Amino acid sequence: MTELPKTFDPAAIETRWYAHWEEKGLFRPERPDAQPYTIVNPPPNVTGSLHIGHALDNTLQDIMIRYERLRGKDALWVVGTDHAGIATQMVVERQMNARGEKRTDYSRDEFIAKVWDWKQESGGTITGQLRRLGCSMDWSREQFTMDPHFSKAVVKVFVELHQRGLLYRDKRLVNWDPHFRSAISDLEVETKETQGGFWRFKYPLADGVRLADGADHIVVATTRPETMLADMAVAVHPDDPRYQSVIGKEILQPITGRRLRIVGDDYADPELGSGAVKITPGHDFNDFEVGKRAGIAAGQMLNMFDADANVVQTADGLVPEAYLGLHRFKRDGVDGAREAVVAEMKALGFLVPHVTKNKEGEEVAADFEPRVIQTPFGDRSGVVIEPWLTDQWYVDAAKLAVAPMEAVRDGRIEIVPKTWEKTFFNWMENIQPWCVSRQLWWGHQIPAWFGQPLGLFDFDKPMHERVVDYRQAPIFVAETEDEAIKQATAFYRNDPRFTGKSVAVEARVAGGHRRNGDEITVYIHRDPDVLDTWFSSALWPFGTLGWPESATEKPLPFRGGVG
């Protein structure tokens, strides 16, 4: 007879019994005639490990699934992990950096292969923890958001949303992470208090215009003086008597010499500072909206930074050469654009010093007023986020929000407790376009191919006379490369520029075209960006249960045209 141990050791007993349950397939739904009961576990990041919140949530799910299983239902608890685009790429790149390597040492396919290698070797921490918790999941159906069947569902939804006009490409401001060189979501931005400053500068009025008090300038204040290199307007409140006479007039930016229009906008607070605000729509979310209200189209807004947050020339060519290449901030002891701008404005006599009194009552002047600034940081990179004007893919979240709101209002969906309805409607009624593209390599690559602008094929004109606007290049959204080539072929063959010519389309890494007499080959290239991880994760309840293979609906017809 085996002697019982004096102390209970749950680790050994639980591990042995769990392995037995899993080996015997006791967690699988094998009652086809019984009522189905399914819980789809929200997929945790493949990079991570469980925390106490996961332990609580999974315990509650396990209680529910075991209870319904004992009641005779065909109970399925779906399990799997999320590919966690930016988090996974960060982990793999850190490992490469430790070996003296970087991502760009490899091709995209080679890097993705390394990520898969990492996933196979190190990505199973969470699944081991779930087993150790005793979660009665059906491990025979374990899935991953990058599995081929799931990727098919992601591509299908992207294409259909585009066909319905609910997904589009647009130029807007995004939260740009200069470390990852990618857009990130609002939820990946962490706002922290930092010690900053409030600088005041004089902007001279143009053409001899003066204010009612005789001043020949307006004082503007900013916490980001470096962005004045891309200023496009100065805003004042339309009812502020100090500035009403100059609304619509022009003012000069001293460093660039750019002529800016003075606009009346409620965003300018007469009680704050001078009541005048410099407007840089390409690098501030509030300024972006002011700029749009002032009639500045997104395509006309100036961008003064590259993907690394170094100064580049603006479209109007007015940034002085001395600033080009400077980082936005001081780095490694080297002054950045901020320090250079303040120094030049001070040397030109346009800096308004901040004057205080010391203990002796004497006036002391400083370049700026110290202030605590709410500063956005990337939650993973730890660098300051830059509002950046760029072309991205967006989902029309406002239109998608209509049906859920109607369902709550007419009682088809009940929010428990009911007090949370107010919060729900506040979210839905104030929802913004959802940026779903990311400038990464790991993830679901966007199923869109860029063609060549039609102006390139004005064969009756010399090349230097052709109007080629690559912003108007056609975009072909399709589930496969072959379908994109078919769309592109039809698009070009239907244009009168190609009448009487033989047109072929090929997909390559880079665009362009080749001409041999009347034979034209147009090269289309796939968008290198990937989708936001949450775009795919939102499909988890459907893709894990057989959609779209089990779907019966017919696909929507191709909408065509410029994306």
pLDDT digits (tens, 9 = 90+) for 417-476: 999 999 999 999 999 999 999 999 999 999 999 999 999 898 888 888 888 888 889 999
Which pLDDT score, from 0 to 100, does residue 1 have? 61
Q: How far apart are the C-alpha atoms of 188 and 87, rounded to whole Å?
A: 11
Mean pLDDT of 77-93: 93
**Burial class for 500, CB neighbours closer than 10 Å (0-12, 13-18, 19+):** exposed
Which pLDDT score, from 0 to 100, does residue 556 have? 33
Phi, psi dihedral angles at 236 (to 5 degrees): -130, 160
Which pLDDT score, from 0 to 100, does residue 558 have? 28
User: Which helix (H) or strand (E) element contains residue 279?
Assistant: strand 276-279
Mean pLDDT of 118-144: 90
Percent of the chain predicted with pLDDT > 70: 98
Phi, psi dihedral angles at 500 (to 5 degrees): 80, 5
DSSP 174-194: EEEETTTTEEE-GGGEEEEEE
pLDDT band at 398 (very low <50, low <70, confident <90, very high): very high
Number of neighbours of residue 104 by Cβ within 10 angstroms: 9
Q: Which two tokens stand for residue 486?
A: 């078919």
Peptide bond just before 178 cis, omega within 30 deg: no
Mean pLDDT of 410-416: 94
Amino acid at 471: R
pLDDT band at 352 (very low <50, low <70, confident <90, very high): very high
Which pLDDT score, from 0 to 100, does residue 501 have? 93
Which pLDDT score, from 0 to 100, does residue 75 have? 95
The answer to whether residue 415 scores a pLDDT higher than 60 is yes
Which pLDDT score, from 0 to 100, does residue 100 have? 94
The answer to whether residue 562 scores a pLDDT higher than 50 is no
Q: How far apart are the C-alpha atoms of 87 and 47, rounded to whole Å?
A: 7
Beta strands in 71-166 (DSSP E): 74-78, 80-81, 143-144
Residue 310 in contact with residue 325, Cβ under 8 Å? yes
- CB-hemisphere CA count at 13 Å for 384? 16
Residue spans of alpha helices (H) in 234-295: 285-293
State the average pLDDT for the chain: 92
pLDDT in tens, 170-179: 999 999 999 9
Q: Give the length of the chain.
A: 563
Residue 68 in contact with residue 420, Cβ under 8 Å? no
Q: How far apart are the C-alpha atoms of 234 and 278, rounded to whole Å?
A: 4
Which one is predicted more confidently, 563 or 403? 403
Which pLDDT score, from 0 to 100, does residue 560 have? 30
The answer to whether residue 255 scores a pLDDT higher than 50 is yes
**Window from 242-256, 383-397, 540-554 with minimum mean pLDDT:** 540-554
CA 147-170-84 angle, 5° bins: 25
Which pLDDT score, from 0 to 100, does residue 559 have? 29
The answer to whether residue 478 scores a pLDDT higher than 50 is yes
CA 270-340-274 angle, 5° bins: 10
User: Which helix (H) or strand (E) element contains residue 250?
Assistant: strand 250-252
Q: How far apart are the C-alpha atoms of 269 and 533, rounded to whole Å?
A: 39
Return all residues near 131 (Cβ < 8 A) that are at least 6 apart.
18, 22, 139
pLDDT band at 273 (very low <50, low <70, confident <90, very high): confident
pLDDT in tens, 12-24: 888 899 999 999 9
Which pLDDT score, from 0 to 100, does residue 122 have? 79
Percent of the chain predicted with pLDDT > 90: 81
Which pLDDT score, from 0 to 100, does residue 554 have? 41
| Per-residue DSSP letter, 264 | E
Number of neighbours of residue 388 by Cβ within 10 angstroms: 20
Which pLDDT score, from 0 to 100, does residue 364 have? 84
Which pLDDT score, from 0 to 100, does residue 463 have? 82
DSSP 448-464: EEE---GGGG-TTS-GG
pLDDT in tens, 183-237: 999 989 999 999 999 999 999 999 999 998 899 999 999 999 999 999 999 999 9
**Window from 124-133, 340-349, 518-527 with minimum mean pLDDT:** 124-133
Residue 309 in contact with residue 179, Cβ under 8 Å? no
pLDDT in tens, 494-510: 999 999 999 999 999 98
- What the chain holds in terms of domains, given with CATH numbers, is 10-140 (3.40.50.620), 190-377 (3.90.740.10), 397-432 (no CATH), 448-526 (no CATH)
Would you report the helix, strand and coil content of the chain in percent, each value rounded to 5?
A: 35, 25, 40
Q: Which two tokens stand for residue 555?
A: 């696909």
Which pLDDT score, from 0 to 100, does residue 261 have? 97
